Structure formats: structure tokens, C-alpha cells
């Protein structure tokens, strides 16, 4: 397929996403099934067009004075991909897969210079984002509208950064600047394909995991030490469990629990592949955690959240988020925080993480926890940053914890707070 045909397909997929509220990944998969002639390069290019349109949906809609899928995709090709408007219009004339010819009004909109930067986030979330990010909030949201890199965490239980870098040298990986055992494959441009590193022999052998540098950083700041008893209360597929097991050098014990059996399902294979020997999976059963009461040195809550910190990867979710969903997540987080206390031993540490930038899910949530529970003291994670990570603290200092952001740390957005239980009971 040539560019014009790919544009046609992207308009079709984006229409499906916008009108039928389908997740992008699902709509792209359905398009692929219905168009088996399309190659991997076509699919990647179509995906890039759709995701790029959603990342800067508001900017493109403003420039085109239309938020129709066709207007958004044409704007991406000219504004983000740098295709000259005239050449694009000409390419439509001799391609039978091309969309309808570009109109004079569209040409004018495509030639128009960009207006002042718009934040590319829903209006109702702007006060919360501004409260979290202060004067940097617009620049942060611009960074959040960029394509993300592909980050890998080297599994030190099985390999080394040098060995993995060598095994992936065809992709020119770079060392991550903050996480000490991370490698980064920078985001591509235009129609480039994200490398499929999971087919690499090193991945099959458990030498590395795909994990955003932000997630690697908070996994280390969680501070799990060799020999400790750790409960990973919302373990899901085990991204943090695996990272903590490596930090603990397979010593001590991690109990990996999740309330959703299907979210937990991948963890068994991942633990095996990674050579983790100090993790025990605790599936959701009525008494699954009873024997851990008062015994844990550390309880990690990687909380269910709105995922506002991951908008670079899942830009469709930013336009779908509702106040009801936010309220629901806040209520879930509160219940999980309260439930976590039972497993902590006196002197133990409660670590609270979200991949959200919203204060309602972060600092406000921890402040409310303190109001409900006496005998917890905030640990200063800024001070321990240099013990676990490269360079000086670069995140944002927040009440009770700290925030990682695309602009500050070049990562997904994450909040982390660590609370030490000082009371004896």
C-alpha cells in the first residue's frame, strides 16, 4: 500500500474508534483481519496514523477546524509527518485506494500555520493536571502527546546490560539515563515499526522484560531488600513482582496477589522465564492473605488507576475518561489502602504507586489515608533516589511522595509514596 491507501485505512479505523467507542488495538486488529493483503509495514503505518491523531487530537482539530477522522489524519500526515500538502493532494489522484480528493478548504487548513499550543487533554481534567504539574502543565501535556520509546529492563537474575545490549545491537539500544539496568529503543518517526523484541532469543531466555523506565524506577524506589517478606497486593501480570525479585536477588519472599484471576494469569510463565524463585502467587481466594497478617516488611500497592500517566501509549483512553471512572478508581484505591494495613508488621513500609498524574489518586489519596490511620510516617524518597538510581533527583516533589513525568524524567507518569508504620499496632 502507498501512503494514500494507508490514510484511507487510518480514517476507517479512527471512525470505528470514535463512533463505536472501540479500543484502538481492537479496531486495528479487526481491520487487519478484513484486509489480509496488507503487510506488517502497512499495519504499523496505519496504527501510527491513528495513534498520532489521538495523541494530538485537539491540536489537529483546531488547525483543521474539524474533528472528523479524515481531518485529523490528513493533519497528522502534513503537520507531524512533514508531508507537503501539495504532494499529498497529488498522490490521491493516481491511487485507487486513496480517499476522496482533498478539497480547497482542506488544502487551506493544511497550509495554515499552527496556532498557539493547546494542551491536548479533556477540559475537565485541566484543573487537576495544573494542580499536580504547576506552570509546567502545558509543556508536560505536549511531552505526553509524543510517541513513547520502547524501554526494556534487563533481568539481572539471568543476564547483564552489556549482554542484552549486544544481543539487541541491530536495534541500537541506549542505556536508560535513570534506571541502572534499563535499555531504551527510541521512538520511531512517521511509519516506522516498533521492533518486536519478544522474538529475540534473549527475551525467550528471560534476559529482559519490556517495562517503561518509569515503572523500573518506582519498582526500585519501592525499596524491597534481599531477605524481606513482601506482599505485592495488586500484582497483575507481575511487572513489579519481577523487578522486585531481581532487586532482592531472589532472596526473601514476595507474595503476588491480585483480585482478578485473569490479570494474574500471565505471572506464572513470566516468573518461570525470568528465573524468579522467591515469589509465591496468591490467587484471589477468600482467605488468600490471612496467614500474612502483621508479618510483612513491605506491602506494595500498584493501584488500579485512571492510567493518565500512560497516555503516550494509550492516547484513546484520555478522551474516554469520565468523572465517574475517576471516582470509582479513587474509591477502589481507598479500599485497597485500608485493606493493606492488616498485612504490615510494625515498622513495615506501605508503598503506594499509581500510573496517574491526578492529585485525586495520588497525594490527596495518601493525605486521606493519614487521616484514617494514625501511626504512619512518610519516607523521603527524594533522599533515597541516588541509592537506587543514576543521577540526582529529577522528578517532581509532591505532598507525601514524588511524581515522574514525560518531561521531567522522560518516562510514563508515575506517583509513588512510601509510608512507614511507626505504631506498634
Ligand X SMILES: C[S@@+](CC[C@H](N)C(=O)[O-])C[C@H]1O[C@@H](n2cnc3c(N)ncnc32)[C@H](O)[C@@H]1O
The span from the first CA to the last CA of the chain, in angstroms, equals: 66
Q: 16: Cβ–Cβ under 8 A, 6 or more apart, which residues? A: 22, 27, 30, 31
Assess 191 for contact with ligand X (CB under 6 A): no
Nearest distance, CB of residue 169 and ligand X, angstroms: 28
Assess 412 for contact with ligand X (CB under 6 A): no
Spot the catalytic one: 102, 144, 150, 355: 355
Contact 133, 396 (CB under 8 A): yes
Assess 212 for contact with ligand X (CB under 6 A): no
Nearest distance, CB of residue 301 and ligand X, angstroms: 8
Which stretches of 275-423 are DSSP H helices? 315-320, 323-340, 363-372, 381-388, 406-409
Task: Give the interface segment with ligand X, choosing from 186-194, 195-203, 235-243, 378-386 (CB under 6 A).
Answer: 235-243
The size of the interface with ligand X (CB under 6 A), counted in residues, is 16
Give, in order, the Cα–Cα distances in Å from 49 to each of 7, 32, 65, 78, 190.
Answer: 8, 15, 19, 11, 8
Please state the φ and ψ torsions of residue 380, each to the nearest 5 degrees: -90, 100
Single residue of 15, 66, 250, 259 touching ligand X by CB under 6 A: 259
Single residue of 100, 114, 260, 290 touching ligand X by CB under 6 A: 260
Assess 239 for contact with ligand X (CB under 6 A): yes
Assess 119 for contact with ligand X (CB under 6 A): no
Scan residues 321-360 and list those touching ligand X (CB under 6 A): 332, 336
d(CA 208, CA 155): 5
Report the SS3 class of residue 344. Answer: strand
Assess 61 for contact with ligand X (CB under 6 A): no
Give, in order, the Cα–Cα distances in Å from 116 to each of 48, 125, 141, 297.
Answer: 24, 20, 14, 51
Beta bridge partners of 183: 152, 175
Nearest distance, CB of residue 389 and ligand X, angstroms: 18
Single residue of 28, 89, 121, 234 touching ligand X by CB under 6 A: 234
Draw the binding track, 291-320, toward ligand X (x: CB under 6 A; -: no contact): -----------x-x----------------
Assess 151 for contact with ligand X (CB under 6 A): no
Judge whether 258 is annotated as a binding position: yes
- Annotated catalytic, 234? no
Nearest distance, CB of residue 286 and ligand X, angstroms: 13
Q: 72: Cβ–Cβ under 8 A, 6 or more apart, which residues? A: 14, 53, 57, 60, 61, 64
Nearest distance, CB of residue 248 and ligand X, angstroms: 15
Beta bridge partners of 264: none
Assess 406 for contact with ligand X (CB under 6 A): no
Assess 279 for contact with ligand X (CB under 6 A): no
Max CA-CA distance within the chain? 77
Assess 153 for contact with ligand X (CB under 6 A): no
d(CA 418, CA 425): 18
d(CA 2, CA 150): 26
Nearest to ligand X of 167, 211 (CB atom):
211
Q: Which helix (H) or strand (E) holds 182?
A: strand 182-185
Nearest distance, CB of residue 87 and ligand X, angstroms: 44
**Which parts are annotated binding residues?**
258, 302
Residues that bind ligand X (CB under 6 A): 233-240, 258-260, 263, 302, 304, 332, 336
Q: Which residues are designated catalytic? A: 355
**Which parts are annotated binding residues for S-adenosyl-L-methionine?**
258, 302
Amino acid at each position: 500500500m502507498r501512503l494514500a491507501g494507508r490514510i484511507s485505512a487510518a480514517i476507517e479505523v479512527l471512525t470505528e474508534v470514535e463512533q463505536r467507542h472501540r479500543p484502538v488495538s481492537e479496531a486495528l486488529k479487526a481491520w487487519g483481519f478484513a484486509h489480509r493483503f496488507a503487510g506488517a509495514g502497512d499495519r504499523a503505518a496505519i496504527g501510527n496514523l491513528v495513534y498520532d491523531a489521538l495523541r494530538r487530537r485537539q491540536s489537529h482539530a483546531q488547525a483543521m477546524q474539524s474533528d472528523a477522522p479524515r481531518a485529523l489524519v490528513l493533519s497528522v500526515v502534513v503537520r507531524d509527518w512533514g508531508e507537503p500538502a501539495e504532494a499529498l493532494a497529488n498522490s490521491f489522484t493516481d491511487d485507487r485506494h486513496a480517499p476522496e480528493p482533498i478539497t480547497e478548504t482542506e488544502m487551506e487548513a493544511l497550509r495554515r500555520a499552527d496556532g498557539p499550543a493547546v494542551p491536548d487533554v479533556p477540559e475537565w481534567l485541566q484543573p487537576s493536571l495544573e494542580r499536580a504539574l504547576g506552570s509546567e502543565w502545558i509543556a508536560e501535556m505536549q511531552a505526553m502527546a509524543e510517541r513513547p520509546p520502547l524501554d526494556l529492563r534487563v533481568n539481572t537474575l539471568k543476564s547483564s546490560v552489556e549482554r542484552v545490549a549486544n544481543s539487541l545491537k541491530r536495534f541500537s539500544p541506549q542505556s536508560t539515563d535513570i534506571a541502572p539496568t534499563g535499555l531504551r529503543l527510541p521512538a520511531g518517526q512517521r511509519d516506522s515499526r516498533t521492533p518486536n523484541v519478544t522474538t529475540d532469543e534473549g527475551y525467550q531466555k528471560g534476559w529482559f522484560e519490556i517495562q517503561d523506565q518509569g515503572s523500573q524506577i518506582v519498582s526500585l524506589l519501592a525499596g524491597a531488600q534481599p531477605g524481606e517478606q513482601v506482599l505485592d497486593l495488586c500484582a497483575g501480570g507481575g511487572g513489579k513482582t519481577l523487578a522486585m525479585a531481581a532487586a532482592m536477588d531472589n532472596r526473601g519472599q514476595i507474595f503476588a496477589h491480585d483480585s482478578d484471576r485473569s490479570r494474574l494469569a500471565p505471572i506464572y510463565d513470566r516468573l518461570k522465564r525470568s528465573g524468579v524463585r522467591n515469589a509465591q502467587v496468591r490467587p484471589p481466594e477468600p482467605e488468600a492473605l490471612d496467614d500474612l497478617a502483621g508479618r510483612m516488611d513491605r506491602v506494595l500497592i500498584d493501584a488500579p488507576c485512571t492510567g493518565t500517566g500512560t497516555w503516550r501509549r494509550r492516547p484513546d483512553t484520555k478522551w474516554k475518561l469520565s468523572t465517574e471512572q475517576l471516582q470509582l478508581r479513587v474509591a477502589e484505591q481507598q479500599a485497597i489502602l485500608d485493606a493493606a494495613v492488616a498485612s504490615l508488621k510494625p515498622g513495615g513500609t506501605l508503598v503506594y504507586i499509581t500510573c496517574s498524574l491526578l492529585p485525586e489518586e495520588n497525594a490527596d489519596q495518601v493525605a486521606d489515608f493519614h487521616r484514617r490511620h494514625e501511626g504512619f510516617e512518610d519516607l523521603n524518597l527524594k533522599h533515597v533516589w541516588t541509592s537506587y538510581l543514576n543521577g540526582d533527583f529529577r522528578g517532581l516533589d509532591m505532598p507525601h511522595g514524588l511524581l515522574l513525568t514525560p518531561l521531567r524524567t522522560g518516562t510514563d507518569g508515575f506517583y509513588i509514596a512510601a509510608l512507614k508504620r511507626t505504631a506498634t499496632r
